[in-house]
Structure 1
Amino acid sequence: MNVLVVDDEPAVRFSLVELLEAAGHTVRAVEHGPAALEALAEEPADLVLSDLRMPALDGLALMAEVRARHPATVFVLMTAYGDERTAVAALKEGAYDYLPKPFDNEEVRSLVRRVHEMLALRAENERLRAELADRRGPLIGGSPAMRAIYEIIDRAGPTDAVVLITGESGTGKELVARAIHEASRRRDGRFVALNCGALPPELVESELFGHARGAFTGADRDREGLFEAASGGTLFLDEIGDLALPAQAKLLRALEDRAVRRLGENRTRPVDVRLIAATNRPLERMVQDGTFREDLLYRLRVIQIDIPPLRERREDIVPIAIHFIHELAARHGRRVEDLAPDARRALLAYDWPGNVRELRNAIERAVVLANGPALTAADLPASVTGSAAPLRPAEAALAGLSYRDALARARRDFDRAFLSAALERHGGNITRAAEELGLHRQSLQKLLKKAGL
């Protein structure tokens, strides 16, 4: 943790800095309230340990300022004998706890340990809230690409516009289609899905449009097609690029006329359907090759959503994996809740040619074989851990860290690069660099020292 000690007694400051640094924390110490506010302005702290009685600004007044300017910072008061009543009152005003003087080392360690655990729990809760916020129905992910998809779903969902979803196999095209359906006025109607590549060409038309009794050998009764079955709802045609040209022509006519004709019948039947199509094939190239109708392509992509492969939105991998862990652990009766750092690194490094579908399969295997509450790299398939491409330097530096630690490291790297550039622009003149950056000279000197410059 990043700890700020505020006390006008040098001996107290020295002992607390020595004690907390030995426990692995980053510690700064200042002698009074105004200096504390300046230090926090330069770099926020996770915890402030402040004496109650100090010149210039006492502990209570400092706490009020810190809570107003840095609400996430935990504040603990240190009190001398006789100040307990004031300290108890401070708890009601927002102090986390108080530490009576004189205190022993174990008392301090215990209190700081409790603060650290509380902050870790708070960070985990924030992560879970963010994960829940970065989703639309069954879709999970907070990458810029997914946020753009959510925006299209929000805007196009309530309309009846035809939507074409493109993306590699396993990227979640049907999930996007279902999210569009749930965002539409047809959400109470049926969502009917057909994989156009799963049926032989001679059966696709019957499946889509239905048939009359005797229309072909084996047609022993009248049967409605999926267009009629989905009337009032949404029809999702997956792998539309596999549809034969004759079926493409009839699909185009059904979209234009909003009516279908069953095989073996002369009359048309009106249908009220919202169509969503998906493909992993290059339809424009197929148009050039003469295997896909150009007029149908124009009719299908009134709204087009392109889902990027998982390797191009790696920031979504861990949230999706955590979601699968919770879902599959419940299904298989396993007590698995999280990913160990080495598993996170392996998932982030792998390219996922099978995308989300492959990730789900890998997590399911790991959940079944796991020996502890967190999946490790050893639980993952060899195809994932054995062929993992090396992480980029920035990814490797941050993989496996908590959000707070990753942010601290990224900030240190930024400070060093930013301050170096400022000094270089002014030929190493600290005064001029401080003026440009809007800092006091002493403040800039402290930042330079901390950055090792």
Structure 2
Amino acid sequence: MAKTDATILIIDDDEDILLSAKLLLKKHYSKVIVKDTPKELNQLLSSEVIDVIVLDMNYRIGFNDGKEGMYWLRHILDVRPEMVVVLMTAYGEVELAVNAIKEGAFDFILKPWTNEKFLATIQAGLKLSKSRNKVSLLAGAKEVLERDIDQKFGPIVGKSKEMLKVMEVVDKVSLTDANILILGENGTGKQHLAREIHKRSNVKDGPFVHVDLGALSENLFESELFGHMKGSFTDAHEDKPGRFELAQNGTLFLDEIGNLPYNLQSKLLTVLQDRKVSRIGESLERPFNARLLFATNAPLKEWVDQGKFRQDLMFRINTVEIEIPPLRVRPEDVEEFVFHFLEIFKRKYHKSNLSIEKEAVDLLREHSWPGNVREIQHTIERGVIMSDGHEIRITDFNLSTAPPPVNSEVHEIENLNIQDIEKMLVEKALDKHDGNISKAAKELGLTRAALYRRLEKFNL
């Protein structure tokens, strides 16, 4: 008979009881731990994934009041509220056991026991334990997924030869478990493509967990990615699984991977190699099974050469690279995006009869779109909102039809080195907005995180 994959902990000061219980349970369960004192409980709870604890009520000779058992029961449930605890008690202590159940114990076993009753109680406790753990993970995943509930991710738009090449690669890699690095400028749709890969993968029925590393402060990286235990730091009021655990049997998408601090890159590398993760505050390693996707708009290969990004981590995350081309090199896709977003926002704002004039479409097609697809999305939404009649006009978009003036300082850079021009533009934006990062980033069409990376890159 195959053993059930579970860990049972038995604590009793009677060696005969421990031996009998272990001999019985080890026939049915993969791991049985026995201890003659509860003093090692904290260490065991942090180093083992325990499914059921069988706890004696008394540990001192001559004392049968059950106070020790009640103390340790409360302690266990305070540290692990979801833990299933079964009490062992003598016949005359049934009232104590009943009171313990009111305190949160699952059930009790009378000594001496019958094997059938003992096994049935443990099996029932194990079923409850597995159910609680599943609910905990699902609740965590639900919380993460609800943050994205208002985002609409429809089919991939774009029929240009550049996008067709991208989708050819997607077709080849989606059904594999290869790590994929998605590259592209801000607004090109890296998250959209990651979701498309997930939908075509073997884990499409599992969760898609998105982590924007660019939006996390450094002190939250470990807690968000790896989870934490109650009391492991000031605000850790309860156990919390990290994103690796929440993505179990699904896809974990680490966006803006270039924002991962160097001191945490080695830890991420270890997790990717071992496929195990430890929450903050515990030594237990928890295996995870998730498809891993990564994305960035940062020049990671340059950063590797500069010592800002680990080369071994770079090798690990980009088994396959997919680069989404910016919209300016595939202008034939612009019109398709225009009508795609028009339909979405017509429904959102209840303007089902709305159309767009030809001159407006021509203007949109000729625009340079430095913000890529995200800029088109916001532009069309504005047009739908601002339109008064049944047709969106050029004036509803607030896009300049005149070419931007040539900046004299850009014109004076003889070698037209992209790095020099980029540095100069960053400096000009900061000067224009008196060092205000948010305004400068908006002026440049960047996120705050992307601007911070450029400030570090150019030592500004």
Q: Secondary structure at the residue paired with 2:238?
A: coil
Q: CA deviation at 1:137?
A: 4.8
Q: CA deviation at 1:341?
A: 1.7
2:214 aligns to what?
197
2:340 aligned residue (317, 320, 323): 323
- Equivalent-residue separation in structure 1 for 2:371 and 2:154 (angstroms): 22
CA contact (8 A) 2:363 2:401 kept: no
Q: Secondary structure at the residue paired with 2:315?
A: helix
2:361 aligns to what?
344
2:176 aligns to what?
159
Q: CA deviation at 1:223?
A: 1.0
Do residues 243 (structure 1) and 257 (structure 2) align? no
Between stretches 355-364 and 335-344, larger displacement belongs to 335-344
Deviations 1:1-35 (A, max 9, x none): xxxxxxxxxxxxxxxxxxxxxxxxxxxxxxxxxxx
Name the TM-score, length of structure 2 as normaliser.
0.53
The structure that has the greater radius of gyration is 1
Q: CA RMSD in A?
A: 1.7
Q: CA deviation at 1:389?
A: 7.1
Deviations 1:337-377 (A, max 9, x none): 54322112111111111111111111011111223433221
Q: CA deviation at 1:388?
A: 4.8
- What is the aligned length? 253
CA distance 1:336–1:300, shift in 2 (3 Å): farther
Runs of 4 or more, structure 1, over 4 Å off, are: 387-390
CA contact (8 A) 2:269 2:316 kept: yes
Written as runs of structure 1 = structure 2, the 5 A alignment for 1:74-93 is: none
CA contact (8 A) 1:142 1:316 kept: yes
- Equivalent-residue separation in structure 2 for 1:337 and 1:174 (angstroms): 29
Do residues 224 (structure 1) and 231 (structure 2) align? no
1:175 aligns to what?
192
CA contact (8 A) 1:171 1:310 kept: yes
2:37 aligns to what?
none
Name the TM-score, length of structure 1 as normaliser.
0.54
CA distance 1:250–1:387, shift in 2 (3 Å): farther
Deviations 1:70-102 (A, max 9, x none): xxxxxxxxxxxxxxxxxxxxxxxxxxxxxxxxx
- Equivalent-residue separation in structure 1 for 2:293 and 2:250 (angstroms): 11
1:284 aligned residue (270, 277, 301): 301
Do residues 386 (structure 1) and 372 (structure 2) align? no
- Equivalent-residue separation in structure 1 for 2:161 and 2:309 (angstroms): 32
2:311 aligned residue (273, 279, 294): 294
CA contact (8 A) 2:186 2:372 kept: yes
CA distance 1:308–1:293, shift in 2 (3 Å): same
- Equivalent-residue separation in structure 1 for 2:292 and 2:185 (angstroms): 20
- Equivalent-residue separation in structure 1 for 2:284 and 2:259 (angstroms): 28
- Equivalent-residue separation in structure 1 for 2:353 and 2:337 (angstroms): 15
CA contact (8 A) 1:362 1:380 kept: yes
Deviations 1:412-436 (A, max 9, x none): xxxxxxxxxxxxxxxxxxxxxxxxx
1:369 aligns to what?
386
Q: Secondary structure at the residue paired with 2:206?
A: coil
1:65 aligns to what?
none
Q: Secondary structure at the residue paired with 1:385?
A: coil
Deviations 1:130-179 (A, max 9, x none): xxxxxx95310100111111111111111111110011101100000000
1:258 aligns to what?
275
1:307 aligns to what?
324
Deviations 1:394-426 (A, max 9, x none): xxxxxxxxxxxxxxxxxxxxxxxxxxxxxxxxx
- Equivalent-residue separation in structure 2 for 1:304 and 1:186 (angstroms): 20
